[in-house]
């Protein structure tokens, strides 16, 4: 998956990049690789923003950064 995101990042055409990134979305969502998920969100949001879709980029960013996560309790 990392190599596919790297390939998407190397594309100069933002619309092609967005298409490739979105084709990976289901697999990335099912992954437990946080680094991969962060790279995905950043690349997709930046690509959308570059095509004048800042509002969609913001929605994508918020969707992935506000997911309910289960964190173990911390002791203070």
Domain ranges within the chain, ordered by starting residue: 2-65
CB-count burial class (<10 Å; 0-12, 13-18, 19+) for 51:
middle
Examine the pLDDT at 1 and tell me if it is beyond 60. yes
| Each residue's pLDDT tens digit, 25-48 | 999 989 999 899 999 999 999 999
What confidence tier does 66 reach under pLDDT thresholds 50, 70, 90?
confident
The residue written with tokens 């933002």 in the block is 14
Residue 72's SS3 state is coil
What confidence tier does 71 reach under pLDDT thresholds 50, 70, 90?
very low
The rounded distance, in Å, linking the Cα atoms of 13 and 18 is: 9
What confidence tier does 67 reach under pLDDT thresholds 50, 70, 90?
low
| Residue 18: Cβ within 10 Å count | 20
The rounded distance, in Å, linking the Cα atoms of 12 and 72 is: 41
CA 16 from centre of chain: 15
Instruction: Give me the pLDDT at residue 68, please.
Output: 54
């Amino acid at each position: 998956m990392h190599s596919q995101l790297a390939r998407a990042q190397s594309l100069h055409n933002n619309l092609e990049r967005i298409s490739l990134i979105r084709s990976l979305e289901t697999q990335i969502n099912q992954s437990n690789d946080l680094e991969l998920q962060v790279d995905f969100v950043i690349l997709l949001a930046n690509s959308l923003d570059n095509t004048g879709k800042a509002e969609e980029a913001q929605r994508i960013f918020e969707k992935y950064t506000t997911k309910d996560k289960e964190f173990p309790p911390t002791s203070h």
